[in-house]
Amino acid sequence: MNSILTQPINTILQKPWLSHVLFWTLLLCFYTLAMIDGYGSLYKSFSRNAILLAPQMLAAYYSIYVLNPYVLYRRRYVLFTVLFLIGTYVFSVMARVLVVYVVEELYREPTFRKEPLWEIATDIKRLYKEFFYRVYLPVFLVISIKLIKERFEEKSRRELLEKEKVTAELNFMKAQIHPHFLFNTLNNLYVLTLQKSDKASETVLKLSEMLDYMLYKCNEATVSVLEEIQLIQNYIDLERLRYGDRLELVFKQTIDNLQAQVAPLILVSLIENAFKHGVSGVIDVPKIDISISIKNEQLSFYINNTKPLNEQKDATNFKNGIGLINTKNQLRLIYPDKHSIEVIETENYFEVKLQINLNTR
């Protein structure tokens, strides 16, 4: 049923004039059927209501396309009140004139009395008692529909702008992360090359896999946990090639669904920070403990790294720039109200605990 209605609804939404024609047609049908008993026949009810469409439509479009946008929305309230009252009078007179000089000519006997225009124009009580509500009930309905439509459009525009803003911010953050990883990995490769290590070719292969992932797959909003872990494993392997036996690292995984979807590059930046600030300093046996678990779409990430005795300069600006703040901003944009992050720093270690609800429903 939904698929049957989708096409005509889309057609109406894409062609505003069609929605106007449909509205006034339905209104005429409703009034005609509702007033058959009052006017005595379908013909009389239809002809009277069809003629009254003219002042109704003029009053409606005068209100929504002239009075509201150019007077009311500009907060010229006194002028709006004056012009609104003038409009109600003019369109009520028009309705009464059309009824007397057009509608009644169609089905009343020729001997009936026609009120002169002056009498119609000056009989204020009758105008507002009999014709104001007939003209302005549809007008108020049109205005209400127009206001609701404008609110929805404004909401859609805000949501679109917010979505575009979030996308732009995320792309900017990823643009910061990519060269950061590339620089560090190339530095590792340079060291291995100087050492004429056989591990240099393995480094190139893993670097190629990482670049392929970051340049192409990370353009998606989410990736599978399997792909993200592969990136993390490649990065860890590259660092292990560099530091060798001097590094003590534990990487635990407890995952019930490797196809669960997660935003790319969030976890890797935290791991990169652990190596940069916990391994490259002057520590005899640097230690890094990493744990990733996913159960029922709840991701738990834990990382703990030892710190050097002497405080290092934050050359990568992780703590104040593209690192921790970047990660927190991505979490805020991608997982609002669906994550928690705790950072603990002591004299001896740096620790991060992250919880993410991967359920997007």
**pLDDT digit string, tens, across residues 199-216:** 778 788 888 887 787 777
Residue in this structure with the two tokens 């009498």, named with its chain if needed:
119
**pLDDT digit string, tens, across residues 65-101:** 999 989 988 889 999 999 999 999 999 999 999 888 8
Q: How many CB atoms lie within 10 A of CB 84?
A: 17
Q: What is the distance between the alpha carbons of residues 36 and 31, in angstroms, rounded to a whole number?
A: 9
Farthest CA pair distance, the chain: 117
**pLDDT digit string, tens, across residues 232-253:** 998 888 888 777 778 889 999 9
Kindly report the pTM of this predicted structure. Answer: 0.53
Rounded to the nearest 10°, the torsion over CA 102, 103, 109, 115 is -60
- Within 8 A by CB and 6+ apart from 334, the residues are 170, 221, 263, 266
- Range in 113-127, 151-165, 310-324, 344-358 with the lowest mean pLDDT: 310-324
Quote the pLDDT of residue 88: 93
**pLDDT digit string, tens, across residues 326-341:** 788 878 878 888 999 9
Quote the pLDDT of residue 78: 93
